[in-house]
């Protein structure tokens, strides 16, 4: 009997040794049993830690998720930011912590509004700003044009030297407005054949007018031409384009019987000799430079009539 018990004990030890060896494969039931044991062990550990927390620690843990913990700034900085936003620096019965929380809430609201209006709206706002700036510049230019007085033709007899800067800045202003009107055209108009020709004419006129501007700066323009150009600018400012066109014709082709400048028609005196004078000659035939800037004056006159039409239709030039 004792031999049988000893044999059973040996067999039991052998079985336990074999079962204790590491196995490469595990049963599904063993895996589930191990997971349940781990969950039970973790649950017991968590219950043990919650029981060990004091009431004071519980209050600190409950207060930790507040946003004030991540928004810790000084009172001076809080006051500065609230004043920058136009908000009261302290409400009735408000503590420093509540004041910081109120500032944080205001900043979060501003961030959400900014995110809501970002993206394409920013580009749209930039375009609107550019349009507003351009509109203000155009209004300022119009106001400047209104503020500039009309050239007084009496200065031709009293003080001709004052006419030079007045004519210079009036023509410069009109030329600048012509250039701006070319830039304000739509893109498809600029790319068309007529649009390109109009831009080329504007650039050519600006180039042709440079000798005239140089002569005005040096105050070396002939007196008869000064009178005619002053009349053109004067009537152009008053929107009397028919009279301005008449002054242009007297400047360009003159009203003499011989426009090329013939002042001696024979060796004998004649009764109509005094009608032939040098101020009636055609300055457009003097040289090529004069012809170019006198023709450019006509172009400026045409542009001014297009942009600033007269109130009276009879003042339109043909």
Q: Any residues with CB less than 8 A from the CB of 273 and at least 6 apart, and which?
A: 265
Give the pLDDT of residue 29.
77
What integer pLDDT is reported at residue 140 of this predicted model? 66
Nearest C-alpha neighbor of 103 from the set 84, 86, 82: 82
Per-residue pLDDT at 288: 79
Contact 223, 314 (CB under 8 A): no
Residue whose C-alpha is closest to residue 252's, from 302, 294, 289: 294
What is the reported pLDDT for 30?
A: 78
Residues present in the chain in total: 318
pLDDT given for residue 284 in this prediction: 55
Residue 170 in contact with residue 264, Cβ under 8 Å?
no
Cα–chain-centroid distance for residue 128? 8
Please give the Cα distance from 194 to 13 (Å, whole number).
110
The whole-angstrom distance between residue 251's C-alpha and the CA centroid of its chain comes to 43
CB contact at 8 A, 269 and 295: no
Q: Report the b/e string of 133-166 with b at 16+ CB within 10 A.
A: eeeeeeeeeeeeeeeeeebeeeebeeeeeebbeb
Q: Residue 309: which residues within 8 A CB-CB, separation 6 or more?
A: 239, 316
**Residue 239 φ then ψ, to 5°:** 65, 30
Determine the pLDDT at residue 138.
Answer: 67
Measured distance CA(288)–CA(213) in Å, rounded: 16
Cα Rg of the chain, angstroms:
48
CB 90 within 8 A of CB 99: yes
Low-confidence stretches of the chain (pLDDT beneath 50): 53, 56-69, 120, 146-147, 258-261, 278
- The Cα–Cα gap between 209 and 293 comes to 5
pLDDT of residue 72: 78
Helix (H) or strand (E) holding 172: helix 163-183
The angle that helices 288-307 and 210-218 make with each other, rounded to 10 degrees, is 100
What pLDDT does 27 receive?
75
* Residue 273: half-sphere exposure toward Cβ, Cα within 13 Å: 8
The pTM score is 0.49
Contact by Cβ (8 Å): 234, 277? no
Judge residue 296's burial from the number of C-beta atoms within 10 Å of its C-beta, 0-12 exposed, 13-18 middle, 19 or more buried.
Answer: buried
- Report the pLDDT value the prediction gives residue 25, as an integer from 0 to 100: 66
Give me the half-sphere count of Cα atoms (radius 13 Å) on the Cβ side of residue 267: 0
Q: Quickly count: other Cβ atoms within 10 Å of residue 194's Cβ.
A: 8
Residue whose C-alpha is closest to residue 98's, from 64, 68, 74: 68
d(CA 206, CA 293): 9
């Amino acid at each position: 009997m004792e031999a049988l018990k000893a044999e059973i004990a040996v067999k039991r030890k052998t079985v336990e040794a074999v079962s204790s060896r590491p196995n490469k494969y595990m049963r599904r039931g063993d895996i589930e049993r191990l997971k349940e044991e781990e969950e039970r062990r973790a649950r017991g550990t968590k219950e043990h830690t919650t029981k060990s927390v004091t009431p004071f620690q519980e209050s600190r843990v409950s207060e930790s998720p507040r946003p004030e913990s991540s928004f810790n700034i000084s009172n001076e900085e809080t006051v500065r930011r609230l004043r920058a936003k136009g908000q009261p620096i302290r409400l009735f019965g408000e503590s420093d912590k509540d004041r910081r929380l109120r500032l944080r809430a205001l900043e979060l609201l501003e961030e959400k509004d900014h995110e809501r209006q970002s993206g394409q709206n920013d580009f749209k706002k930039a375009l609107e700003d550019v349009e507003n700036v351009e509109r203000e510049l155009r209004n300022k230019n119009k106001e400047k044009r209104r503020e500039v007085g009309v050239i007084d033709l009496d200065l031709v007899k009293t003080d001709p030297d004052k006419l030079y800067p007045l004519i210079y800045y009036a023509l410069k202003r009109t030329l600048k407005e012509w250039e701006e009107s070319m830039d304000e055209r739509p893109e498809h108009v600029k790319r068309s054949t007529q649009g390109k020709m109009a831009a080329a004419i504007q650039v050519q006129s600006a180039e042709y007018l440079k000798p005239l501007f140089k002569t005005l700066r040096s105050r070396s323009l002939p007196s008869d031409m000064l009178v005619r150009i002053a009349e053109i600018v004067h009537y152009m400012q008053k929107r009397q384009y028919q009279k301005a066109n008449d002054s242009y014709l007297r400047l360009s082709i003159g009203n003499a019987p011989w426009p090329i400048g013939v002042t001696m028609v024979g060796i004998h005196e004649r009764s109509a000799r005094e009608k032939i004078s040098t101020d009636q000659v055609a300055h457009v035939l003097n040289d090529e430079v004069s012809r170019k800037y006198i023709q450019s004056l006509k172009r400026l006159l045409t542009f001014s009539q297009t942009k600033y039409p007269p109130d009276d239709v009879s003042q339109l030039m043909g």
